[in-house]
Amino acid sequence: MSGVYKLQIQESSADLKALLASQTTGAGKERVQFLYLLQSQSAANIQHAAQLLGRHRVTLQKWARRYREGGLDALLERKPKSGRPSHLTDSAREALEARLATPEGFGSYEEIQEWLASEHGIEAAYTTVHSWVRYRRGAKLKVPRPVSKLQDAEQLATYKKTL
C-alpha cells in the first residue's frame, strides 16, 4: 500500500517512557514522545501521531527516517550551534565569574568593560558586557543602595533592634 511507513522500534514502551522523563530539551522530548506514541499504539500511524503532537506529517516522517537509519542516537542528535563565536575566552569567563562572586564585585558595566580590556585584552561593547553579566551569568552588580546623609545612625540602630 502506497504511503504507509513501516517503522520497527527496538525500545520498549517502558524504556521510552523513562527516556522521555530524562530528556532536557523540548525537541528531544517531542521526538521520544513520537516513538512512544507509535510503540504504545496510542497513535495508529505517523499521520495520527503528527496530529497528536501538533506537527506536520512530513516532519515526523523525517524523524522516522533518521531513527531507521541511525537509531535513537541519530534521532536525538543536536545540531551544532551556528553563529559567531564568543569574544569572551574561557579563562576570561572564569576570571569574570570569580570577580563577580567576590563581595566587592563591580560597580558598573563600564567598570567591567575597562577590567576586561586591561586584564584580558577584550574590547567589548556595553550591551555585550551587559548581556554576558546580567542574562547569561545571571549576576547583578554590587552597588549599594543610596543612604541619606541626614539619617541618624543611632535611631537606625534602635529601629533594627526593635524590628
pLDDT by 10s per residue, the chain, length 163: 345 567 888 889 999 999 999 999 999 999 999 999 999 989 988 999 999 999 999 999 999 999 999 999 999 998 887 888 888 888 999 999 898 888 888 888 999 999 999 999 999 999 999 998 999 888 888 777 788 888 888 998 898 888 7
Beta strands in the chain (DSSP E): none
Tell me, yes or no, whether 59 and 103 share the same domain: no
Range of the domain at 111: 90-136
Query: What's the pTM?
Result: 0.55
> Within its chain, how far is the Cα of 108 from the centroid?
26
Residues 17 and 72 in one domain: yes
Classify residue 28: in a domain, yes or no: yes
User: How many structural domains comprise the chain?
Assistant: 2
Q: How far is CA 28 from CA 6, 33, 35, 41, 136, in A?
A: 22, 8, 11, 20, 23
On whether both 18 and 72 belong to a single domain, the answer is: yes
106: left (phi over 0), alpha (psi -120 to 50) or beta: beta
The answer to whether residues 4 and 46 touch, using CB atoms and an 8 Å cutoff, is: no
- Residue 6 domain-assigned? no
57 and 105 belong to one structural domain = no
Length of the chain measured in residues: 163
Instruction: Report whether 100 contacts 132 (CB < 8 A).
Output: no
- The residue written with cell numbers 537606625 in the block is 156
